[in-house]
Amino acid sequence: MKTSLVLSDYVFKQAKKAADASGKTISDVIDSWARSGLELSSKRKRKPATYRALDLGIPLVDLNSRREWADLAYDDEHK
């Protein structure tokens, strides 16, 4: 398929270098890069992580009290 693309100067220069080094056309090099990117992105799709609840026991501070949280944090920093 023939199409037009707008590429950054950097990408074009790198594609030209790769094409010259490999004896391929710039189109072949960019097509190869695009295919590699598609394969990589399809491999990265993972199932969402699942988490299970843990019972950590009775809280040592009142979880609804910012004051207790702040006191605990201050005490930990200054021990």
CA dihedral 60, 63, 64, 70 (to 10 degrees): 80
pLDDT in tens, the chain (79 residues): 888 989 999 999 999 999 999 999 999 999 999 999 988 877 766 778 888 988 888 887 887 888 888 888 776 555 5
Q: What is the Cα–Cα distance from 79 to 69, expressed in whole angstroms?
A: 16
Q: What's the pTM value of the predicted model, to 2 decimals?
A: 0.53
Burial of 33 (0-12, 13-18, 19+ CB in 10 A): middle
Here the tokens at position 61 are 């501070």
